[in-house]
Structure 1
Amino acid sequence: MTQGPRPIIHRLPLDGGHVMHVEEHGDPAGLPALVLHGGPGSGSSPVLRRDFDARRYRIICPDQRGSGRSTPAGAITANTLADLLDDLRRLRDHLRIERWLVVGGSWGATLALAHALDQPGAVAGLLLRNVFLARGGDIHGFFAQAVRHGDPEWRALWNEAWRRQCPITDVIAQALAHGTPQRQCRIAALWFAWEQRMATGRPAPQPDDATLQRLVARYRVQAHYLRHGCWLRAPTLLQRCVALPTVPTLIVHGTQDRVCPPQGARALAHALQGRAILRWVSGAGHDPTHPAIAAAMRQALNDYALTQAFSGAGESAPGMRISAGAG
């Protein structure tokens, strides 16, 4: 990324006692681009804006409710998908932006799609990386794989859910909201280790105490959303996407993504019926820092800066099929 001037910082009061932290980078006269972080709960990061040319873009990076430097950190009261969509409406009004390119990866892609459905006239284009569709099977599969991997702590959480006759997301969400500090830290460390292994294929570094507290806040928000199916159960996000605005849309997805299965990207492209380009990144997983993922995103952003469109056709990935549960 070409470095621009020092960021402009906004602290935007929201309802429910929340305050949203927003950073603007790049050229204030450049193409407006809204960058939505993942999680939910992860917070924005320099990694998410590094592929932008700051001479061409006005890069807007909000921390969603309870996330990053928004306050209160880790708060789940008054924190739903509807609240996040209202926050984006408020942010656009505050910044006096008519339309923006919306860029998001993983949960950020979910929120980007929901925002485009909520405010179709506000969205000039969609750049979606490693899309997460918030399907029940995707959420269940992430935790089921952890249990099958053989870790006794994941097995204990699974057994607790079985005894209580509830999903494992309920057990985790309740523990992170109301459990002892020790249990919250243990679950956060466990989740982080599994997420990093799934995303990068490498063991996670041992978090220090400050990092662990941030992880507790992050996963408290994420578990809260997953427990409720991200408020996208009926109708599902795929079912809703038939109403997406017809704007330039590019889906960039790693063929080896174990966190957000590639079949989800194929299902989304199928639902959009030719209104989106699906570009596979061979050999890449969920990690946004993977060199091939970063190169694909950088190329897409450069193309859009020049033409306000995404160039080229989608690339096929052999052996991929839409799963029966894609809807």
Structure 2
Amino acid sequence: MDRLAGQIGGDPSRGRQYPLVDPFDQRSIDMGDGHVIYLEQSGNPQGVPVIVLHGGPGGGCSPFMRRFFDPAHFRVVLFDQRGCGRSRPHAEVENNTTRHLIHDIEVIRQELGIRRAILFGGSWGATLAVAYAEAHPFAVLGLVLRGVFLGRRQELDWFYGGGVARFFPDRWADFQRPIPEAERGDMIAAYHRRLFSGDRGQELRFALPWVMWENALAGLEISGPGHAPPDYARAFARLENHYFAHDCFLQEGQLLRDRPLIEHLPAVIVQGRYDMVCPPLTAWELAEGWDQAELRMVPASGHALSEPRIAAELVRVMDSWRDAPPFGRDD
């Protein structure tokens, strides 16, 4: 890590999100193994490619994600990962692993004729960005990451094993309440049994508290537990639980171990100082010793992409990469 950036906030004229633009391309790609992936492109068809990786797993992409990029300069590629959003089949976990998602990104890159692209991802999207870059380092121009999660057991234990519960005992009690006391020693496994019971009604009932536990802690301003549409909640909960029950289909510590494969790439990591979902330690560990990486710790901010300071900083990063690209021309 060459430095911890100290100019968060900066010029108030910068950091404003761009107006929403419509996609110039929308399509579905059949991956040939039962999954059909929704894909869209917006911005400049001849511009610098950016592949946006949404969180979750299971969160899906949204129009809001197009607004971080100057549409006159960037070619913005969004897609719904397997089992969520507009990809089909919905909430499906068969043939749905990190290896499959890396494969999908590579298929998308080749189908769109992209030689190299910027990877832009937060939370699980940051995990997937690092995993893909380590698998295909010469297909990547650079990485812009937010709220870093590396899929390690210590990170899962923090969120599902009682670590963050010390700060939010009321929310933790809500999350535990549907589970019998005898099963609360492993909340991921306890929810897994119910989210994959084969009883759709039961899966829907247990999906909501799973989703609400994360949503309640995602923003610095904690409000009520909110609500999520049942079908969205079921897909999100099943996919996230499926990945977490299998340690994100990564070897323990794999992404840090293999970081030398991508240390030639420029990276900016935008991290909320008070992120309770993915604490700043993980972002620090990823950036430490990576000379081409810059860690920007954002004050008074939590985890969510929609947090005002987080969103503004991400726009500033992409504007700076537009004005002074840290990578060479990609002919």
Q: Same fold (TM over 0.5)?
A: yes
Alignment deviations for residues 306-327 of structure 1 (CA, whole Å, 9 cap, x no partner): 22129xxxxxxxxxxxxxxxxx
Alignment deviations for residues 172-197 of structure 1 (CA, whole Å, 9 cap, x no partner): 22321225333222222112222121
How far has the Cα of 1:16 moved from its partner?
2.0
How far has the Cα of 1:205 moved from its partner?
2.3
Partner in structure 2 of residue 217 of structure 1: 235
Q: Give distance in 2, aligned partners of 1:51 and 1:25.
A: 12
1:32 partner SS: strand
Aligned 8 A contact 2:83 2:90 in 1:
yes
Aligned 8 A contact 1:117 1:245 in 2:
no
1:157 partner SS: coil
AA partner of residue 142 (structure 1)? F
Aligned 8 A contact 2:263 2:291 in 1:
no
2:68 partner SS: coil
Structure 1 residue runs without a partner (length 5+)? 311-327
AA partner of residue 32 (structure 1)? P
Which structure shows the higher helix fraction? Answer: 1
Q: How does 1:231-242 map to 2 (within 5 A)?
A: 231-242=249-260
Partner in structure 2 of residue 22 of structure 1: 39
Aligned 8 A contact 1:2 1:52 in 2:
no
AA partner of residue 109 (structure 1)? A
Aligned 8 A contact 2:153 2:252 in 1:
no
2:243 partner SS: helix
Matched, 1:136 2:153: yes
TM-score, normalised via structure 2 length: 0.86
Alignment deviations for residues 224-250 of structure 1 (CA, whole Å, 9 cap, x no partner): 000011012335321122322412100
Q: Give distance in 1, aligned partners of 2:41 and 2:122.
A: 19
Task: Identify which of 269, 278, 285 aligns with 1:260.
Answer: 278
Q: Give distance in 2, aligned partners of 1:155 and 1:236.
A: 34
Q: Give distance in 2, aligned partners of 1:309 and 1:61.
A: 23
AA partner of residue 91 (structure 1)? I
TM-score, normalised via structure 1 length: 0.87
Task: Identify which of 238, 241, 244 aligns with 2:262.
Answer: 244
Provide runs of 4+ in structure 1 moved above 6 Å.
none
Q: How many pairs does the alignment contain? A: 303
Alignment deviations for residues 284-314 of structure 1 (CA, whole Å, 9 cap, x no partner): 000111111111000000011122129xxxx
Q: How does 1:197-208 map to 2 (within 5 A)?
A: 197-200=216-219, 201-207=222-228
Q: How does 1:68-147 map to 2 (within 5 A)?
A: 68-143=85-160, 144=162, 145-146=164-165
AA partner of residue 150 (structure 2)? L
Alignment deviations for residues 200-238 of structure 1 (CA, whole Å, 9 cap, x no partner): 21223233xxx1111101110110000011012335321
Aligned 8 A contact 1:2 1:53 in 2:
no
Partner in structure 1 of residue 25 of structure 2: 8
Superposition CA RMSD, Å: 1.9
Q: Give distance in 1, aligned partners of 2:180 and 2:320.
A: 46
Aligned 8 A contact 1:193 1:203 in 2:
no
Matched, 1:193 2:212: yes
Aligned 8 A contact 2:263 2:290 in 1:
no
Change (3 A) 1:179 1:4: closer
Aligned 8 A contact 1:63 1:70 in 2:
yes
Change (3 A) 1:140 1:53: same
AA partner of residue 172 (structure 1)? Y
AA partner of residue 215 (structure 2)? Q
Task: Identify which of 285, 292, 309 aligns with 2:302.
Answer: 285
Aligned 8 A contact 1:2 1:54 in 2:
no
Change (3 A) 1:241 1:27: same
Q: Give distance in 2, aligned partners of 1:264 and 1:114.
A: 15
Q: Give distance in 2, aligned partners of 1:179 and 1:159.
A: 23
Change (3 A) 1:242 1:205: same
Matched, 1:161 2:157: no
Identity across the alignment (%): 34
Q: Give distance in 1, aligned partners of 2:141 and 2:175.
A: 45
AA partner of residue 209 (structure 2)? L
